[in-house]
Amino acid sequence: MDQQQATISPTIDGILAHNRAFVERRAYERYATDKYPDKKLAIVSCMDTRLTELLSAALGLKNGDAKIIKVAGAEVAHPFGSVMRSLLIAICELGVEDIMIVAHTNCGAQHMSGKEMVANMERLGVSAERICGIDFDRWLAGFGDTEEAVRRSVDMVRNHPVMPPHVRVGGYVMDSDTGELTAVR
């Protein structure tokens, strides 16, 4: 790769510098594994930065243990969307048998307002003509009740028309501070 490329941003430049040093000192060796999840487990969780390390630490997972799909609100929002597609790949190609949907407390995606997000888009330079004609208010709206959203996602996965019958699916909410899991029934 061309290491003389123009500056992208101070943040990304810093990350690229770290990455070169990481590879040079062979720091990757302790993470060696293959593509098959050792625990035959897939997790759908939130992109929230509080969970970046907390999720794996609180669940006792190491590199190679589980397929982890991160999406705002830990929602499986569409039966033929990318989250469901990822789960089916994990099951049918990579041997996953257990699925955990792990939402978390005080999720940023909970109380989102589609109208507010559209206003933010305009403030960030997106022209109003580009925004009209799409039902952003519905698409970008928050899910309100966290436990209810987890139940919906669990139901969608469990009752998906092409879900193999041996797959077990559980729903949970993680405390964003302590990592404590509470099962959603």
Binding site for Zn ion (CB under 5 A): 46, 48, 107
Do 98 and 40 meet the contact criterion of CB atoms below 8 Å apart? yes
Do 85 and 118 meet the contact criterion of CB atoms below 8 Å apart? no
Report which of 174, 134, 158, 185 is spatially closest to residue 51, judged by C-alpha positions.
174
SS3 103: strand
In this complex, which beta carbon is closest to Zn ion, that of residue 64 or of residue 114?
114
In this complex, which beta carbon is closest to Zn ion, that of residue 40 or of residue 70?
70
Strands (E) in 48-157, as ranges, are 66-70, 98-104
In this complex, which beta carbon is closest to Zn ion, that of residue 107 or of residue 184?
107
The Cα–Cα gap between 45 and 104 comes to 8
Distance of closest approach, residue 110 Cβ to Zn ion, in angstroms:
7
Q: How many CA atoms lie within 13 A of 180 on its CB side?
A: 4
In this complex, which beta carbon is closest to Zn ion, that of residue 48 or of residue 55?
48
Do 58 and 117 meet the contact criterion of CB atoms below 8 Å apart? no
Distance of closest approach, residue 93 Cβ to Zn ion, in angstroms:
28
Distance of closest approach, residue 104 Cβ to Zn ion, in angstroms:
6
Distance of closest approach, residue 23 Cβ to Zn ion, in angstroms:
31
Distance of closest approach, residue 80 Cβ to Zn ion, in angstroms:
23
In this complex, which beta carbon is closest to Zn ion, that of residue 41 or of residue 46?
46
